[in-house]
């Protein structure tokens, strides 16, 4: 059941991103796995996810060069989060520091009740360049509803990332 949901989520995300894609565009795909809500022993769960970034939509702003992201993840407890937001990449030689922010929709499934369907994901990632189009990295995020719901327990997660440009 878990694998079917992951495949279904991946197909939806690929369909959405492919519908906006053109051959001349450069796309970055981030495949990740890790531990959802590692700081809560009772709710900790394995997660897998996928994120897309279209580098042709990058824009220079007062906070730096930002680009839109779309992605999602699912946990072993059938909790799911689908989001869209922005990230900016700070190149430091072979290392890249990437903070991001993305509001999204959360479904608790059999997992942790975060208190609201609308949740906000703040994340930092550090990645290492393996080649011109491949990086590996680690990331940490916090998902919270900013007190929109009756409760706001939040969830802290860490992930291992594989990033590929196409």
pLDDT digits (tens, 9 = 90+) for 63-76: 777 999 999 999 99
Residue 37: strand, helix, or coil: coil
Residue 22 maps to a domain: no
Range of the domain at 34: 2-16+29-165
CATH number, domain of 98, equals 2.40.160.20
Overall domain count for the chain? 1
Residue 21 maps to a domain: no
pLDDT(5) > 80: no
Check residue 58 and give its pLDDT: 87
Residue 89: strand, helix, or coil: coil
Can you give the pTM of this predicted structure? Answer: 0.83
pLDDT-derived band at 21 (thresholds 50, 70, 90) equals very low
Check residue 93 and give its pLDDT: 93
- The Cα 59–Cα 64 span in angstroms is 8
Residue 136 maps to a domain: yes
Residue 144 maps to a domain: yes
Residue 23 maps to a domain: no
pLDDT tens by residue, 25-39: 589 999 999 999 999
11: left (phi over 0), alpha (psi -120 to 50) or beta: alpha
As a whole number, mean pLDDT of residues 108-118 equals: 97
Backbone angles phi, psi at 116, to 5 degrees: -165, 155
Residue 126 maps to a domain: yes
- Helix-, strand-, coil-residue percentages of the chain, each rounded to 5: 15, 60, 30
Residue 82 maps to a domain: yes
């Amino acid at each position: 059941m878990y694998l079917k949901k992951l495949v279904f989520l991946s197909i939806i995300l690929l369909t959405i991103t492919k519908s906006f894609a053109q051959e001349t565009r450069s796309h970055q795909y981030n495949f990740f796995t890790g531990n959802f809500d590692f700081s809560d022993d009772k709710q900790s769960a394995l997660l897998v996810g996928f994120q897309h970034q279209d580098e042709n939509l990058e824009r220079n702003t007062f906070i730096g060069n930002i680009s839109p992201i779309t992605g999602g993840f699912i946990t072993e407890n059938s909790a799911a989060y689908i989001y869209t937001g922005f990230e900016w990449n700070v190149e430091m030689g072979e290392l890249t520091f990437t903070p991001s922010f993305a509001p999204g929709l959360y479904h608790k499934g059999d997992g942790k009740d975060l208190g609201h369907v609308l949740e906000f994901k703040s994340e930092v990632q550090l990645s290492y360049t393996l080649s011109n189009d491949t990086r590996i990295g680690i990331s940490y995020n916090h998902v919270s509803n900013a007190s929109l719901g009756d409760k706001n327990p939040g969830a802290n997660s860490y992930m291992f990332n594989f990033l590929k440009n196409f």
